[in-house]
Structure 1
Amino acid sequence: MASGAVTFYWRVTINGKTAREVIGVYDPSAPPKSLQPTSKGYSIIAAMRAAEVLAAQHHANLDKGGFAGVKAAEQEAKARAVTAKLEAAQFTLQALLTDYCDHLEALGRVAHKDARSIFKLHVIEAWPKVAALPANLVTGEQIADMMRRVIELGKARTSNKLRSYMRAAYQTAKAARSKASIPVRFKSYNVTHNPGADTEPDESANKADKRPLTAEELRGYWQAIKTAPGFRGAVLRLHLLTGGQRIEQLVNLLTSNVTGDSIMLFDGKGRPGKPPRPHTVPLIPQAAAALLECQPRGTYAISTDKGETHLSAITLSHWAVAASALPDFQAKRIRSGVETLLASARISSDIRGRLQSHGISGVQARHYDGHDYMEEKRQALETLFRLLDAPEASNVVQLKTA
């Protein structure tokens, strides 16, 4: 070299092309017969041994392009390792859960709010190291540990919801490989197994609430809100007289989906990955009057700021509790109480289900039955109002003598 230093190269010719590979610099102070390089470089014999190793690699891989092919494979492996490292940093469990919540929101599913809150409190903040792992390396045991912690906090139902949301997030990423309707970003998580499916729910926490309001309790609640003044009373009457619709869906009612005799809600409790299902509820005159008192305008029909934002579901629930004089009253008991009362009036389970937007199952119901059932639902709501507004003694039935 210009500096006087000597550099060893191994040279090879393959397919008419010559290439050189650097071995290292010559160390004149190295023992002449040394076979290994020193800290300063190579002896001549050590350089020959290094060249022999390169030649052996070349001849062993002639079918792959010789030593050049070996180098290309090494470079490709290094590139894959760098890519894998970047993906590990980008496609973490936390990122998957965030993307899943964004996906739910894009589908119009209100559950994204609940899922975000649960993931934030019980995964991201509680288990930061696990949340930072590549999503496809998280195990079912780790998810079970998350659930166990929530149960130990006295929130068994939340533990089951965590499992459900986690399982759905992984299933979305897994299905992205074969389901074109799922955003392509989910493929990048390389999920081939659903660890959420390896866990078991706490069955005791999934028991339905068996305490629907009785007919007398519902009538008492109706009397408490029947003449309640202002916006609060109107909203409570609308909720009850439309059949105890899910509060989260009712408060999201759009002004554009209000007509003179019906409202259209959107039920987001259907199958995972499906958009919210339109659910039309007829308005009996008393419910229409209550809605008119709410003065629907702007975007949202049930609003305290002229339709810019909707009333909070929690606020409506608190108003219902405050209006009732019953101990241990919960707003969700209104819904089950309405169904129980209608059942006692011989309203069929099918009509009750359509009125309250329970899941409609079966091929016939989902694909062939095009009837809107508006008249049947209206009759059920009229029956509900008669039962609520009737004097207490009116539920006594006179039996005919034989």
Structure 2
Amino acid sequence: MARKGLTAKKLDNVAGKRQKSATRLWDGDGSGFGAKVSAAGRVTFFQFYYAPAGTVDEKGQDISGKRRFMTLGTYSDAYGLADARKGADAARALLDKGKDPQQHARTERERATREQKQAAQRGTVAGVLALLLWRFRRKGRTRRYIHDARRAWHRDVFPEIPREKKAADVTPQDIRRVLHRPLSRGSEHSARTLRATLHLAFKLAMQSDHDPRNLSSKVEFRTTANPVEAVPLAVEVNAKDRELSFPEIGRVWHEMGESTANPMDTLLIRLLLALGGQHITELREATWSEFDLDAGRWLIRAERHKNRTRDHLLPINKTADALLRELHTMRGRADYLFPQVRKPHLPMRVERPGAIIAALLEWQARLGKPMDKFTAADFRRTCKTRMHEIGIPKATTNHLHNHDFAGVSAKHYDRFDYWSEKQRAMTAWDIALRAAIDGKPVPEAECRAAMRWQDGTPTSGKKTD
């Protein structure tokens, strides 16, 4: 015999009255809706269900298929049976879409809390930092760059200027104390760089208040002057100039295989060189879906590239192809080329390439054959410089590295992919790289020949006007 549905009369009969033990009253229609009556007579509505696939709890553990009870509310004059039924209907509607109602509610609460926190930050020094980081993201700065900027603020700014302090109350004396921190550590370069980011951040705050697009905003920074202006610490950041010679490239190629027991580390560094010095982040976060080894192509989408203006199509030369196929036999089942060991659903950590190079330099020093210090970021400069050395035109290396070209024509109208030019350049680079690996002089004549069209016309004279 089917159970009778819940009624307000039935709930009134048990509400507020002590029971021998807690019990559940079901609606009787098989929907999972019901009410729990505690031993003290408190009536709480619930919705019973089985967790849909992909549901995780607060600890991040998968609970798909497990029994769950969602509390809807407590029976009272303000929350009655009709209100509870509406809540149960909404929960079942989410279940029909494959969503766990409790996980959905938790996500919404976290989102609301996050938005409230962000709103509270606006107008404060913490809001100024958020505005600065937003600008960096819009400009396509790398994650490492943004991470370093945020870390500098947490290390030197917030200990002197509380994050909740209003931006309008920041004085040049505050900035002076902030910049004294890196200077007291003997790091003048960090002090100059920090001053530059502080100056830009407060400039953005001032512009935000006067931006007509923010007219409806209820919170303003209300900064009438940039407090960094009065602090005399000129920014003179010198361009980096470390680039490896061809003999050094050959040495790094071979000694990478000896300095580490992890073949993934070796393949990462070798691929950075073989692929002509693409951005570390682009290779570190690359997925196998971007590669077509049969066609010899690597497609980097605009949203993953630094300049974020257009997709970047890169030819894969013979050396890079062999490395990629070797890597695929080791990590082909993962989405990323270089996944984390313990979290294979995530790409290699941002600091890992730097640690690999540091370990190589330390290993070389222990053997008594040190090299001049360099970083993983120097490979891009190295490849570009050595490419020019073997006769690859600057315009072609800019296309290989997807550098922006000045002018309205290049920015808005030129959509040619320069595939043939890039393909010949990667072939020439492969010839030079193989010679460096074998310890032989680079055959510049052969490299320059690879850059020519079949009819003998140099690459720099075709399709570029």
Q: CA deviation at 1:277?
A: 6.2
**C-alpha deviation, 1:89, in angstroms:** 8.8
Higher relative contact order at CA 8 Å, sep ≥6: structure 1 or structure 2?
1
Separation in 2 of the partners of 1:212 and 1:158? 23
Amino acid at match of 2:182: V
Provide TM-score, normalisation by structure 1.
0.63
What secondary structure sits across from 2:391 in the alignment?
Answer: coil
* Aligned ranges 1:187-266 → 2 under 5 Å: 188-196=220-228, 202-204=234-236, 206-225=237-256, 230-260=263-293, 261-264=297-300
**Is the contact made by 2:122 and 2:220 (CA closer than 8 Å) also made in structure 1?**
no
Which position in structure 2 is the counterpart of 1:375? 420
Gaps of 5+ in 2: 1-118, 365-369, 446-465
Q: Distance in 1 between matches of 2:218 and 2:309?
A: 21
Tell me: CA distance 1:318–1:343, structure 2 relative to 1, closer, same or farther (3 Å).
same
Whether the 8 Å contact between 1:176 and 1:187 is mirrored in structure 2 is: no
Q: What amino acid is the match of 1:142?
A: D
Tell me whether 1:121 sits opposite 2:165 in the alignment: no
Distance 2:173 2:229 in 1: 11
Q: Which runs of 5 or more structure 1 residues have no equivalent in the other structure? A: 1-86
Q: Mark the CA change 1:230 to 1:147 in structure 2 (over 3 Å): closer, same or farther.
A: same
Deviation, structure 1 residue 120? 0.4
Cα distance in structure 2, aligned partners of 1:115 and 1:183? 29
Q: Which moves more between the two structures, 215-224 or 105-114?
A: 105-114
Q: CA deviation at 1:251?
A: 1.4
Give, in angstroms, the shift of residue 358 of structure 1. Answer: 3.8
More displaced 10-residue stretch of structure 1: 170-179 or 364-373? 170-179
Corresponding residue for residue 355 of structure 2: 318
Matching of residue 328 in structure 1 with residue 372 in structure 2: yes
1:136-147 equivalent positions in 2, closer than 5 A: 136-140=168-172, 142-147=174-179
Q: 2:324 aligns with which of 269, 278, 291?
A: 291
- For 2:332 and 2:197, locate their aligned partners in 1 and report how far apart those are by CA, in whole Å: 34
1:105/1:336 CA distance change after superposition, 3 Å: closer
* Partner Cα distance (2:382, 2:131) in 1: 38
Is 1:95 matched up with 2:127?
yes
Conserved? CA contact 2:193–2:235, under 8 Å: no
Task: Within 5 Å, give how 1:300-319 maps onto structure 2.
Answer: 300-305=336-341, 307-319=344-356
- Contact 1:166-1:196 at 8 Å conserved across structures: yes
TM-score by length of 2: 0.55
> What are the Cα deviations for residues 35-94 of structure 1, in whole angstroms up to 9, with x where unaligned?
xxxxxxxxxxxxxxxxxxxxxxxxxxxxxxxxxxxxxxxxxxxxxxxxxxxx99962212
Conserved 8 A contact 2:298-2:313: yes
Contact in 2 for aligned 1:235/1:290 (Cα 8 Å)? no
The answer to whether the 8 Å contact 2:396/2:421 transfers is: yes
Instruction: Sort the Cα spacing of 1:328 and 1:97 in 2 relative to 1 into closer, same or farther, 3 A.
Output: same
Give the whole-Å Cα distance in 2 for the aligned partners of 1:198 and 1:276.
37
Distance 1:123 1:302, change over 3 A: same
1:191 is displaced (CA, Å) by 3.8
Q: Say which SS state the counterpart of residue 278 (structure 2) adopts.
A: coil
Deviations along 1:299-337, one digit per CA (max 9) or x if unpaired, are 533213474111123212222343464423322332222
Contact conserved, 2:272 with 2:283, CA < 8 A, in 1? yes
1:394 aligns to what SS in structure 2? coil
Offset at residue 395 of structure 1 (A): 3.3
SS in 1 for 2:253: helix
- Contact kept, 8 Å, 2:257 with 2:263, in 1: the verdict is no
C-alpha deviation, 1:388, in angstroms:
1.8
Q: What displacement does 1:370 show?
A: 1.6
C-alpha spacing 1:259/1:145, structure 2 compared with 1 (3 Å): farther
Q: Cα distance 1:253–1:154, how it changes in 2: closer, same or farther (>3 A)?
A: farther
1:277 & 1:186 partners in 2: Cα distance? Answer: 36
Partners of 2:309 and 2:190 in 1: how far apart? 23
| 1:61-210 correspondence to structure 2 within 5 Å | 91-101=123-133, 104=136, 109=141, 110=143, 111-125=145-159, 127-129=160-162, 131-140=163-172, 142-177=174-209, 188-196=220-228, 202-204=234-236, 206-210=237-241
Give the match's secondary structure for 2:276.
coil
Identity %: 22
* Aligned 8 A contact 1:255 1:299 in 2: yes
Q: Greater Rg, structure 1 or structure 2? A: 1
Where 1:188 maps in the other structure, the secondary structure is coil
**Match of 1:262, SS?**
strand
Match of 1:395 among 442, 449, 454: 442
Deviates most, 358-367 or 237-246: 358-367
1:360 CA drift (Å): 3.1
Greater Cα shift, 383-392 or 276-285:
276-285
- 1:386 is the counterpart of 2:420: no
CA shift in 2, pair 1:393/1:106, >3 Å: closer
The answer on whether the counterparts of 2:274 and 2:320 sit within 8 Å (CA) in structure 1 is yes
The answer to whether the 8 Å contact 1:304/1:310 transfers is yes
Q: Report the Cα distance in structure 1 between the residues aligned to 2:151 and 2:235, rounded to whole angstroms.
A: 22
Find the residue that maps to 1:327 and give its secondary structure. Answer: coil
Counterpart CA distance in 2 for 1:241 and 1:181 is: 46
Are the counterparts in 1 of residues 125 and 166 from structure 2 also a CA contact under 8 Å? yes
The whole-number CA distance in structure 2 between the counterparts of 1:183 and 1:104 is: 23
Secondary structure in 2 aligned to 1:370?
coil
Q: 1:348 aligns with which of 393, 402, 407?
A: 393
> Which residue pairs with 1:4 in the alignment?
none
Which SS does the other structure have where 1:253 is aligned?
Answer: coil
Distance 2:277 2:257 in 1: 15
| Matched residue SS, 2:441 | helix
Aligned residue for 2:300, secondary structure, equals strand
Question: Could you tell me which amino acid in structure 2 is paired with residue 328 of structure 1?
Answer: D
**Aligned counterpart, 1:69:** none
State the alpha-carbon separation in 1 of the partners of residues 165 and 148 from structure 2.
23
State the alpha-carbon separation in 2 of the partners of residues 89 and 345 from structure 1.
Answer: 53
For the residues of structure 2 that align with 1:389 and 1:89, how far apart are their CA atoms? 54
- Report deviation, 1:231: 2.0
| Alpha-carbon separation, structure 1, partners of 2:306 and 2:216 | 24
Change (3 A) 1:99 1:89: closer
Question: Root-mean-square deviation (CA), in Å?
Answer: 3.7
